[in-house]
Amino acid sequence: MVDVDLSLSAYANAKKYYDHKRNAAKKEQKTVEAAEKAFKSAEKKTKQTLKEVQTVVTIQKARKVYWFEKFLWFISSENYLIIAGRDQQQNEMIVKRYLKTGDIYVHADLHGATSCVIKNPTGMSWSSVAISMFKMSFCLVDCCMIACTQNNGCKLSEVGKLFVTISLTELVLGTWRFIHA
């Protein structure tokens, strides 16, 4: 059913309906183009998000925490692990649990000094080991004693500063004892 405006001529009524049809066709074409553009944009955004998620998943791997990281520790220039206790409880744990045959136990002849163990995983004889490694472990024990007596408690930052300072000076091994386990 078609509504006809009686105030207009037949030609004007036909033109009005043809214009309306032409405008509807243009709107339909624009809607189809906009839908295609939106679909392509959504597809591109989805691919980008998928790439970001895959990148994030591969990056976030946790570092393995080693057993000796709860102690004061370092690896010597000869690749030996040297561990020391931060307090009396850790000193006892190091001696009872981690001191094995072939390791060297370093301790000062003073009350409250930290226990230090030089781990020997290869079982090589200690005569071939450089004296500099012993000096480094003695420095660590000495620094722990100095830091603990000065601060009424062992602060790791102070131990590190003292360790670097004392390592640069020559040490006399007179007040130290080391026991070959």
Give the domain extent around 129.
67-180
Q: Is 108 left (phi over 0), alpha (psi -120 to 50) or beta?
A: beta
Q: Is the pLDDT of residue 72 over 90?
A: no
Question: Do 6 and 85 reside in the same domain of the chain?
Answer: no
Question: Do 106 and 87 reside in the same domain of the chain?
Answer: yes
Question: Do 34 and 108 reside in the same domain of the chain?
Answer: no
Q: Which two tokens stand for residue 115?
A: 């226990």
CB of 112 closer than 8 Å to CB of 92: no
**Average of per-residue pLDDT across 99-116:** 79
Q: Is 43 left (phi over 0), alpha (psi -120 to 50) or beta?
A: alpha
Question: Do 74 and 146 reside in the same domain of the chain?
Answer: yes
CB of 50 closer than 8 Å to CB of 31: no
The pTM score is: 0.48
Q: Is the pLDDT of residue 160 over 60?
A: no
Question: Do 112 and 52 reside in the same domain of the chain?
Answer: no
How many Å is the maximal CA-CA distance in the chain?
A: 124
Q: Is the pLDDT of residue 118 over 90?
A: no
Question: Do 52 and 90 reside in the same domain of the chain?
Answer: no
Question: Do 103 and 53 reside in the same domain of the chain?
Answer: no
Question: How does residue 142 score in pLDDT terms, banded at 50, 70 and 90?
Answer: low
Question: Do 106 and 39 reside in the same domain of the chain?
Answer: no
Number of C-beta neighbours around residue 37 at 10 A:
10
Distance CA 139, CA 45 (A): 59
Distance CA 124, CA 120 (A): 7
Domain count, the chain: 2
CB of 155 closer than 8 Å to CB of 147: yes
CB of 104 closer than 8 Å to CB of 178: yes
> CA nearest 73: which of 147, 132, 144?
144
**Average of per-residue pLDDT across 116-139:** 69
CB of 178 closer than 8 Å to CB of 105: yes
